Amino acid sequence: MISSKVLIAQLGARKHYQEPLLFHRWGILDRLYTDFYSGHGNVAKLLQHPKIYNRLPNLIKKPLDRYEPELENATIIHFPKFGYQYVQALKKASSDQASQIFILGGQKFCQQIIKRGLGQANIIYGFNSACLELFEYAKPKGIYCILDQTIADYSLVYQLLLEEEKRWPEWSLTPFRVNQADLELMEREHREQDLAAHIICGSSFVKDSLIIGGVDTEKISVVPLGRLKDNITYSDPSIIQTPQERGDGLRILFVGSVNLRKGIPYLLEALRQIKGQIPFTCKVVGSLEIKPERIAEYSDLCDFTGRIPRSQIKNLYTWADVLVLPSLGEGSAMVTYEALSLGVPIITTYNSGSIVRDGLDGFIVPIGNAKVITEKLLKIYIIGKNFSQVDNTENYLQRTFKESEHKLWEIITKHY
């Protein structure tokens, strides 16, 4: 009986190395290829020690976070020069140039992997836009190719963004337009989907978008996130007063890029609607991708903090009464898992790809609807975190994580 041996091609620290970690635990990880990995050497370990790490600038912290302690004995091959060039190119790129960089980066990443070799792998696990050439090389050799599709199909994403640009003119710093590189990136991902023997999606929203695009539903599986990077402990909401009882107003939090895709105008309009009805404080945390005029227009309603260090995010979740993410398109938004793990109710959309249960962990609202967001904010002001739950959110999260691991194991091992 042949056992599974998996090669993972992973640009970036996607899902905090969830798949490499699990495959390594299961004894089936042949090797991990990535762009940059800080490693487990003595210098890296010294810098990662909390007493030193906490004093380092974010410029150094970010690359140091590219590691997972449990992977110390795994075979990890990285291309740091390529990784640095790729990140710098993305930083300097305008929104019109990003798709071309994704294409070129994915091509070069695959070429370097092929040059170094596939080892003993009989399964390739790759991520959208960064595995096409690898799949083209491996599939004729009888190697099973699995694609992890981390965001909805671009045909749908582009459509939604174009509609938002029409609805909210003069909002985006760089208004979205579909250029030739965008179309080439979409076609690249469609070819990856065709070559993949199986496709893994983080949410039903992503799966739906692929089916609309013509992908065979039989080769798609929905596998939500299976772990969180930080050791976040669940806080019992039953001992917390409601905002109304507490008397200092509803504490509203938004975490993510402040742009049209994340649905920021609908949260801001909802704030305008609840003004005068209830007291509230709102913090909008993330890179600012809307015009300064719009920020100034709503600055009396919320505090636009810009990006903040990840180490401070947990304090914001602890502060918040509710996380609002009215996104128009995600894969499976990490912030929703983080907020749930701390018992924070969430107002979000089906398109966010979250695992929020409507009425149990928060509310699922239609995309593009500030009125419904307003209604839910007013409700949470009264009930706070005291949702009536058949089973609590902590148990639900743990069960979801275990089910995700089991499903992934079945997908990976059923062929060998």
Tell whether the model's pLDDT for residue 305 goes beyond 60: yes
Q: What is the mean pLDDT of residues 187-199?
A: 98
* pLDDT bracket for residue 1 (50, 70, 90): very low
pLDDT per residue as tens digits for the range 319-345: 999 999 999 999 999 899 999 988 899
Q: What is the mean pLDDT of residues 156-178?
A: 95
Dihedral angle computed from the Cα positions of residues 91, 94, 96 and 100, in that order, rounded to the nearest 10 degrees = -30
**CA–CA separation, 208 vs 153, rounded Å?**
9
In the chain, what percentage of residues exceed pLDDT 70?
Answer: 91
Q: What is the mean pLDDT of residues 26-39?
A: 94
If you compute the radius of gyration of the chain from its CA atoms, what whole number of angstroms results?
22
pLDDT at 389: 61
| Average pLDDT, rounded, for the chain | 91
Q: What is the mean pLDDT of residues 182-198?
A: 98
Domain annotation for the chain: domains and CATH numbers:
6-222 (3.40.50), 237-394 (3.40.50.2000)
The helix-helix angle for 80-92 and 95-116 (nearest 10°) equals: 170
pLDDT per residue as tens digits for the range 60-109: 767 777 888 899 999 999 999 999 999 999 988 887 889 999 999 999 99
* Euclidean distance between the first and the last CA atom of the chain, given in angstroms as a whole number: 7
Question: What is the DSSP pairing of strand 144-149 with strand 198-201?
Answer: parallel
**CA–CA separation, 310 vs 230, rounded Å?**
10
In the chain, what percentage of residues exceed pLDDT 90?
Answer: 74
Exposure string of 197-234, with b = 16+ CB inside 10 Å and e = fewer, is ebbbbbbebbbbbbeebebeeeebebbbbbebeeebee
Lowest-confidence pick of 25-34, 226-235, 297-306, 313-322: 226-235
If one compares 59 and 327, the residue with the highest pLDDT of the two is 327
* Spatial CB neighbours of 385, under 8 Å, sequence gap ≥ 6: 237, 240, 242, 321, 343, 344, 345
pLDDT at 391: 61
**CA–CA separation, 333 vs 321, rounded Å?**
19
**245 C-beta neighbours (distance < 10 Å), count:** 9
